[in-house]
A and B are shown apart, each in its own frame.
Chain A
Amino acid sequence: MNKKRFSEIIGFAILRFCLGLVLLTLLIILWDIFTKGYSSVSWEFLSTMPRKGMTEGGIFPAIVGTFLVTVITALFSIPLGMGCAIYLNEYAHGGKLTRLIRMSIRNLSGVPSIVYGLFGVVLFVQLMHLDTSVLAAGLTLGLMTLPWTITASEEALKSVPQAYRDGSLALGATKWQAIRTNVLPYAIPGMLTGTILGLSRAAGETAPILFTGAAFFLPVLPKSLLDQFMALPYHLYIMSTQHHAIEQVRPLAYGTALVLIALIFLMNSVAIFARYKLRQVKLES
């Protein structure tokens, strides 16, 4: 009995240690970025163009660029991903082909992002003549997030009890009616959460936009979706590794990192908040 108790204490101690280690690492990173970055973040930094070869000025175009490209990613991957998930989970018969498709999707989510970047160059930039542009980069990121969106959406659909579908059908609903009125409303919170988490990952990616649209230095806003753009992660990459005066611009790089992290944090909060709100609506109604 005592021995059992003892091993339990040891077990919990090890688990706590693991958790502590992860949290500590995370906190150190955040602390480092925050302390070194917050002094360079100001309204001016957020709202002006970079000047003098990026040694001065702000990151406004990079914020706008990341925002635009994320919107395109969302518009591309949310409807397509949800549609695929609905088809796979509700309509496809669980045969060999479905299993193969599902396995491919799982595998695609493990493909390195630079590979998506190269694929985007070939498909969107060259074949579809979109050139290096916001659109090409957004679509490339969209492709990259698609496996995540599909998987998350499918999980959300799976979590809706079969009894809701059967109950609807038994009342004379068509299959699509049953899905629309008695499955999707309960799956959408989960779908959105997974999707937004995927999007926030995409917003922080550099490799896929490197060849498909992100500009090194472009102190004007894109005028159309076919223009090049600046993006936060790429800007950060340049400021911290490619710049001619790295030491001088280090505070600006940290400022950029802080803004990027804040943006992603904001997106994830929205995801959590949306899920919370939608859950509440569901339980109340």
Chain B
Amino acid sequence: MSEIFTNSIEKKNKIAPPKISADSFPAGEEKVMTAEDRHSEARIKGEIKIMVENFNFYYGNHQALKSINMEVITNSVVGIIGPSGCGKSTFLRCFNRMNDTINGTRYEGTIEIDRKNIFDKDLDVVDLRRNVGMVFQKSNPFPKSIFDNVAYGMKINGIKDKSKIEQTVERSLRHAALWEEVKDRLNKSAFALSGGQQQRLCIARALAVEPQVLLLDEPASALDPIATAKIEELIHELKKDYTIIIVTHNMQQAARVSDYTAFFMLGELYEYDLTTKIFTNPTRKTTEDYVTGRFG
């Protein structure tokens, strides 16, 4: 255990965009595109949605994220895994600057979304948050009706057109695979829904403001297996239209839903690669130990 940790600190993190040596692939699979290939292609096509460069983050004197470099391709799903306390939630909350609400936090480096630094002085954080939706670990429906929950974001963003609101509410609920279950009781309290339904309601609520990026912080950690399966299915659907970053504690879940996986440890991005690669043939020993459940 302690060996692993000293090891991780000694090796400096320079893994994104990921570099994978040719010999890490067995012969005969050369046609498979590596993460590096895919990122180069995306860069050429202008399909890099998010770019994190030399990013550090501090709570007071405590450094929670250490020189993170990372790119996210448009409409891909990135899973973030790592032992608890390694900074997954902190990292996620950087993308919509929810960390701004915590006193004494500070950062260095840049995060670009669509080539625009989200920490720029002239960037309106309200616009950013509309563009980057977030679903919290603990589902947090508001004490309003199901309809009003989904309509909330539109209302605060000044949309008054009733029929537009109704259409968007229906579309978002359908998109979140909840419509069939709630269409007869839209005016009932959101608290009457089950845990899994509440979480999908929160997803619908986030979708209703039409973001481009969706941040999910352990969205299924409090749910039973059936509700979890529904959420995972939903993520598969959503990635057609959204760039998704999902934190998960559950290794199988990361393997199932994400295209790329980022392994964090002690605030460092330890390895970032195609999900299949991370789970079958990771470059670093620590990653392998973690994904095979030898620690965590």
A positions within 8 Å CB-CB of B: 93-94, 161, 163-174, 177, 181-182, 186, 282-285
Chain B, Cβ-Cβ closest to A282:
B143
Report if A171-B153 is in contact (Cβ < 8 Å); known contacts: A94-B103, A285-B145, A285-B148: yes
A172 neighbours in B (Cβ, 8 Å): 126-127, 129-130, 153, 156-157, 209
**What is the minimal beta-carbon distance from B141 to any residue of chain A, in angstroms?**
8
Q: Choose one: B134, B144, B156; the contact of A285 (CB below 8 Å).
A: B144
| Cα distance A175–B155 in the bound complex, in angstroms | 15
Q: Verify if B18 is at the interface (C-beta below 8 Å from A).
A: no
Chain A to chain B: the 5 pairs with minimum beta-carbon distance, closest first = A172-B130, A163-B140, A171-B153, A170-B134, A173-B156
**What is the minimal beta-carbon distance from A98 to any residue of chain B, in angstroms?**
11
**What is the minimal beta-carbon distance from A68 to any residue of chain B, in angstroms?**
37
Q: Supply 22 A–B pairs (Cβ within 8 Å), ascending by A.
A: A93-B103, A161-B140, A163-B140, A164-B140, A164-B143, A166-B101, A167-B136, A168-B152, A168-B156, A169-B129, A170-B133, A170-B134, A171-B130, A171-B206, A171-B209, A172-B156, A172-B157, A173-B156, A181-B152, A285-B144, A285-B145, A285-B189
**What is the minimal beta-carbon distance from A181 to any residue of chain B, in angstroms?**
6
Report if A169-B206 is in contact (Cβ < 8 Å); known contacts: A163-B136, A174-B126: no
Are A163 and B138 in touch, CB under 8 angstroms?
yes
Chain B, Cβ-Cβ closest to A170:
B134
Q: Verify if B39 is at the interface (C-beta below 8 Å from A).
A: no
Are A170 and B98 in touch, CB under 8 angstroms?
yes
- Known contacts A163-B138, A171-B130, A172-B157; can you find 18 more A-B pairs with CB under 8 A? A161-B140, A163-B136, A163-B140, A166-B136, A167-B140, A167-B142, A167-B202, A169-B129, A170-B129, A171-B152, A171-B206, A172-B126, A182-B142, A186-B143, A282-B143, A283-B143, A284-B189, A285-B189
B129 neighbours in A (Cβ, 8 Å): 169-172
Q: Which one of A161, A167, A174 has the greatest number of beta carbons of chain B within 10 Å?
A: A167
| Cα distance A165–B152 in the bound complex, in angstroms | 13
Q: Which one of A161, A164, A171, A182 has the greatest number of beta carbons of chain B within 10 Å?
A: A171
| Cα distance A31–B157 in the bound complex, in angstroms | 58
Number of A-B contacts (CB under 8 A): 70
| Cα distance A163–B136 in the bound complex, in angstroms | 9
**What is the minimal beta-carbon distance from A276 to any residue of chain B, in angstroms?**
16
**What is the minimal beta-carbon distance from B73 to any residue of chain A, in angstroms?**
24
Q: Verify if B205 is at the interface (C-beta below 8 Å from A).
A: yes
**What is the minimal beta-carbon distance from B105 to any residue of chain A, in angstroms?**
12
Chain B, Cβ-Cβ closest to A95:
B103
B127 neighbours in A (Cβ, 8 Å): 172
A282 neighbours in B (Cβ, 8 Å): 143
**What is the minimal beta-carbon distance from A4 to any residue of chain B, in angstroms?**
37
A161 neighbours in B (Cβ, 8 Å): 140
- Contact string, B85-111, partner A, CB cutoff 8 A, digits 1/0? 000000000001010010100000000
**What is the minimal beta-carbon distance from B271 to any residue of chain A, in angstroms?**
29
Q: Choose one: A94, A164, A170, A174; the contact of B96 (CB below 8 Å).
A: A170
B202 neighbours in A (Cβ, 8 Å): 167
**What is the minimal beta-carbon distance from B144 to any residue of chain A, in angstroms?**
6
Chain B, Cβ-Cβ closest to A284:
B189
**What is the minimal beta-carbon distance from B149 to any residue of chain A, in angstroms?**
9
A163 neighbours in B (Cβ, 8 Å): 136, 138, 140
**What is the minimal beta-carbon distance from B209 to any residue of chain A, in angstroms?**
6
